[in-house]
Structure 1
Amino acid sequence: MAAKLKQTTVTAPVAGELVPLSVIHDPVFSKGLMGKGFGIEPSDGKISAPVSGAITMIASTKHAIGVKTADGMEVLVHMGIDTVELAGKPYQIMVKLGDQVTAGQAMATMDLASVKKAGKATTIITVITNTAAMGYQLFLNEVDQAVAAGDSVAMVTGKAKPAASSQPADEPVGDGKYDQLAHDIIKNVGGPANIKSLIHCITRLRFYLKDESIANTAVISGLDGVIDVTKGSGQYQVVIGPAVNDVYDAVIAQLGSQFADDDATKQAVADTTAAAKKQHPQNILELIQHGFGNIIGVMTASMIPVIGILAGSGILKGILAALTGFKVLSTTSGTYMVLNAIGDATFYFLPVILGFTAAKKLGSDPIVLAIVGGILIYPQIIAAAGKAATAQISFLGIPTHLVSYSASVFPIIVAAWLGAYVEKFLKKVIPLYLRSVFIPILEALILSVIVLVGVGPIITVISKGLADGILAIYNFSPALSGFVIGGLYQTMVIFGLHWGLIPIVINDIATNGHSYLNAILSVTMVAQGGAVLAVFLKSKDKKLKEISLAAAVSAFCGVTEPALYGVNLKYKRVFVWASIGSAFGGLITGLLRVNNYALSGSLIGFPAFITPNVGIGSNFYGYLISHYGTLIISTVLVFLFGFSDKMLAKNKTPKLDAAK
């Protein structure tokens, strides 16, 4: 529904002399960088609400209060200039966050004498902070005259946004790629009035803020294009990644050049570049851990938007497996075909989805990366990868082994990470008037070739080597192989290295009618489900409990992605203890020689452990012992040692540069 033009009366928040913003001794306000408004030189210290609405912000130093009207107008009352340094001593706040106030209602008191004694100006400034986004026009009464608190001093016209709506976001800002992100970052660090200066290093925007407590870290961390937020060295650091130069330019363009410090920026870039280079020879293990942490962090961040649908799809696939296992539903029926498509589509097209979400996090082009994901699962490539006779191809004379990228995660994350660098390079060599046509297709071509010709064969070689090694261990000792496979398999899944084992399982079932190996793989799913179930039982966080329970059910239905990427990897200790539990579960499975008779597993796949023509017997009892034993072990280990709600506050996406 289109926004209507709305008129709002703004009253004087304090008694005194009404003055225009242009005479205020603070360039952030006088130049209108915070929005349109007015000032009052107060004659007393009783501060009231200039409009009716909800209290949305109270500065930790008490010098500023934000009010949002029912129509979406955001009004800031700023009490004094440079009064952050007074640490709130001159103020008494009479409202709290979330309170509904009416125009003229008392909000605070300000000790004018105390402020003047500290050498600070007492000017009370009232500004509309979303002026630009909403297109507000302010018509101010005659200035340089005395007003009383509660007097009508200005009329504002602009677009109304009904309170009953779902709080729509501000209208798009600018037409540059990073203009909106720049606007959102500025707004959520507290606006220009809260910024002293800004520099950047090789991956981060580094703000010097007047009051860090005003910054809305949770919102900034969730912005598309922001990887993380951290604090250090007196700076509020917003981690952007490879696109940091472009985002910095967009922020400075909106703030003004007076906020930039070119010399400090050059020094920060030089220092962080040197520190990053210095890490390579000095501590290779730490560098590997750093890189691994970055990859896992981006994977989990990219998966978060689809965790819910993945969990639901996993549960649907589990129900279908049970229905077909009990012969209630035939795999050739139309009902099965439609339901299976619904349950399977998210997994099949996962590279497309992750290409889009990962690109938004890493600063690549989301559409191009979605196309790259589509190329990886293009039907002809998938079909060729599934046959030994066609999997080995030649691309421009380069021998290439095709693999199936359907439901894969790691390859498209690599492509999204490289995408920002490829796009940056192409912008340097392609003229501006040709970029819109040639950069997207060339970027898609380069990234697709890198994955298909480079990443795919590497994964194939490593996974085949792991599969051969695991098979040799199994032939030597089923119990030992169960311990090794149980502990490592889900890590292999993360990097797409498990595909080397799948043909072995399929071949075992096709030629022998059963697979000991698949029984071991099955308990790894249960272990991940048990781990996330422990998080559900232990956490008091409502959102985490909701995700954890759905992920646990999905894992028990044979789909571990929601558990892995939604919870366990995000809180790494959970994954470690789950893998330990999984190793012991695999050991039990190997010792009992549990067999699997179909391509099914986890708790929902129990019919696959009933021996054909024999029925429920020793093998099924072995299944119950190994799988439910694994469930208990994994759940108890994570509950006792793997998780606490303290990890919610500590959890951060790994940092992308060496400087702290």
Structure 2
Amino acid sequence: MKITEQSVAGILDAVGGKENVASATHCVTRLRLALNDEDKIDKQALEANALVQGFFSANGQFQIIIGPGTVERVYEKFIEIGGIGRATKEQVKSAAEKNLNPLQRLVKTLADIFIPLLPAIVTAGLLMGVNNILTGPGIFYHNQSFVDVHTNWKDFADIINVIANTSFTFLPGLIGWSAVKKFGGSELLGIVLGLMLINPELLNAYSFAQAHLKGTVPYWNLFGLHVQKVGYQGQVLPVLIASYVLAKLERWLTKRVPDTLKLILVAPIALLVTGFISFVIIGPVTFAIGREITDGLVYIFNHYALLGGLIYGGFYCVLVVTGMHQMFLAVDLQLIAQTGSTFLWPILALSNIAQGSAALAMMFVAKDEKLRSMSFTSAISAYLGITEPAMFGVNLRFRFPFISSMVGSAIAGAWITMQHVRAFSVGVGGLPGFLSIITDKWGPFFVGMAIAIVIPFVLTTILAKTRKLQF
């Protein structure tokens, strides 16, 4: 695509000029701007700009979809024309925070903690999917798995399982690293804190329920105070809260301890105090809260499957628009840790497919070549798990494709929930999502995929023709 100074200047003018840009950076596909006043945006001018494939506002940032490869060159011209200094993603995020309300700040904090972990978690999910195919009975042979018949592949599958499970086994260590970094502390201490909470000397969290029933839970006797000697494998809340305490305590000590004593006092005191608070207060309280939240969700989806799947399936894309979907990664991980699987993530995968199908339908009904091209490429992206181009560049822009995707996702979500479809891990949300689904539920999940493909496509096509829209 040809990039002209006039088209880039048009983007700058459309967002209110250089005086309205607090800071600017870019990611793989988008310009990410922190604006002083988003009311000054000329959306019609942006839509008419040949370089712009879509735009949206999320987490205090105004993001303009340009496309991979092109966005770097547009960014260079953008800051050159506007005389705007280069900024890192962190600086833009900091500049954008002033526009956030408390709930948005909470969502953004969770996103900043969990998004850096996604490569490890998604990779683990994909590898577990490969292991699932090799070890799942009935996929290749009746009532037998591939490794049951071809025993020479058994150890190969076992190694894959070890590699895949590592991210989930040491999840508190990963969360500790990311959370303490977010809260302004030492990442190394965050890793130690997370690993401390899953030390092999502690009772494994997965064995706690059985040990509690048998009355064999071990305890520490701290001068008359009995504290459960329990680990927090797979738990999210304990390490999140403990990381916050550790980072704040470390920063407090750093300001007050003399430089000559910092090495031998700050880290040991911060880790020791946080460790005691974690095992005595944070761990037991948050562990109980996490179990109650999980039990509540399980109850809803067990007793009101149709309603739960319909609501979550239909409104998941709305959560994406608001940015609140980032909170549910923590819920998925908590469900996997406590029950061994999650019923929420399969709905996410179908929601992504539904967005792609609505965008694909727009390729067939649109007359504008730019829109047709954008619809096709964004549909492929959504089918592979990246929905922003389809959602913000096409579906929300015309509204009825977005509504069509909501309807298709709601029906698909209700179907797979009633069929008790579950995923054993978080993976790639889209067509490859079946790899993370428990194998004996592949059939119902594939039906759900068909629903998420057909209904949004057909409904978008019908609505476009009924309205006799010209675009």
TM-score, with length taken from structure 1:
0.39
One-letter code aligned to 2:263: S
Aligned to 2:309: 482
One-letter code aligned to 2:309: G
Cα drift, residue 521 of structure 1: 4.2
Equivalents in 2 of 1:351, 1:227: separation in Å? 28
Match of 2:439 among 600, 603, 607: 607
One-letter code aligned to 2:86: N
Equivalents in 2 of 1:435, 1:535: separation in Å? 58
Aligned to 1:298: 112
User: Pairwise mapping of residues 637-648 of structure 1 onto structure 2 (< 5 A)?
Assistant: none
Cα drift, residue 299 of structure 1: 2.0
Cα drift, residue 417 of structure 1: 3.8
One-letter code aligned to 1:446: V
Aligned to 1:438: 265
Matched, 1:594 2:462: no
8 Å Cα contact 1:481/1:587 also seen in 2: yes
Equivalents in 2 of 1:393, 1:635: separation in Å? 57
Deviations 1:532-570 (A, max 9, x none): 868998999xxxx999989965x7xxxxxxx799x99xx
Cα drift, residue 381 of structure 1: 3.4
What is the RMSD of the two structures over their aligned residues, measured on CA atoms? 5.3
Deviations 1:597-619 (A, max 9, x none): 99689523473137xxxxxxxxx
8 Å Cα contact 1:599/1:608 also seen in 2: no
Aligned to 1:221: 89
**3-state DSSP of counterpart to 2:202:** helix
Match of 1:317 among 114, 128, 133: 128
Distance verdict in 2 for CA 1:484–1:319, change over 3 Å = same
8 Å Cα contact 1:467/1:501 also seen in 2: no
Cα drift, residue 456 of structure 1: 3.7
**3-state DSSP of counterpart to 1:419:** helix
User: Pairwise mapping of residues 10-29 of structure 1 onto structure 2 (< 5 A)?
Assistant: none
Match of 2:450 among 618, 628, 633: 628
Equivalents in 1 of 2:120, 2:303: separation in Å? 41
Deviations 1:135-193 (A, max 9, x none): xxxxxxxxxxxxxxxxxxxxxxxxxxxxxxxxxxxxxxxxxxxxxxxxxxxxxxx9xxx
Question: Would you tell me which structure has more strand in proportion to its own residues?
Answer: 1
One-letter code aligned to 1:292: L
User: Pairwise mapping of residues 209-608 of structure 1 onto structure 2 (< 5 A)?
Assistant: 213-217=83-87, 220-222=88-90, 228-230=93-95, 288-300=102-114, 303-304=115-116, 306-325=117-136, 326=139, 327-329=145-147, 333-381=154-202, 383-390=204-211, 394=219, 396=222, 397=225, 399=227, 402=230, 404-406=232-234, 411-427=238-254, 430-470=257-297, 472-473=299-300, 476-483=303-310, 493-496=328-331, 499=334, 520-521=343-344, 523-527=346-350, 529-530=352-353, 583-590=410-417, 593-595=418-420, 603-604=434-435, 605=437, 607-608=439-440
Cα drift, residue 466 of structure 1: 3.6
Cα drift, residue 320 of structure 1: 1.6
Equivalents in 1 of 2:281, 2:457: separation in Å? 39
Distance verdict in 2 for CA 1:491–1:500, change over 3 Å = same
Deviations 1:464-504 (A, max 9, x none): 33444445545654422433565689777433476468656
8 Å Cα contact 1:386/1:404 also seen in 2: no
**3-state DSSP of counterpart to 2:146:** coil
Deviations 1:589-642 (A, max 9, x none): 35xx425599689523473137xxxxxxxxx4x44323432466789999xxxx
Cα drift, residue 446 of structure 1: 3.1
8 Å Cα contact 2:421/2:438 also seen in 1: no
Distance verdict in 2 for CA 1:374–1:501, change over 3 Å = closer
One-letter code aligned to 1:626: G
8 Å Cα contact 1:311/1:551 also seen in 2: no
Report how many aligned residue pairs link the two structures. Answer: 327
8 Å Cα contact 1:483/1:587 also seen in 2: yes
One-letter code aligned to 1:440: A
Cα drift, residue 436 of structure 1: 0.5
TM-score, with length taken from structure 2:
0.52
Cα drift, residue 525 of structure 1: 4.5
Aligned to 1:135: none
Distance verdict in 2 for CA 1:356–1:500, change over 3 Å = closer
Equivalents in 2 of 1:382, 1:360: separation in Å? 28
Equivalents in 2 of 1:550, 1:451: separation in Å? 42
Identity percentage of aligned residues = 19
8 Å Cα contact 1:401/1:457 also seen in 2: no
Equivalents in 2 of 1:480, 1:438: separation in Å? 54
Distance verdict in 2 for CA 1:479–1:334, change over 3 Å = same
Cα drift, residue 367 of structure 1: 1.2
Cα drift, residue 365 of structure 1: 0.9
Equivalents in 2 of 1:637, 1:362: separation in Å? 46
Greater RCO, CA 8 A, separation 6+: 2
| Unmatched runs of 5 consecutive residues or more in structure 1 | 1-59, 61-189, 191-210, 232-238, 240-271, 277-285, 507-517, 556-562, 611-619, 639-660
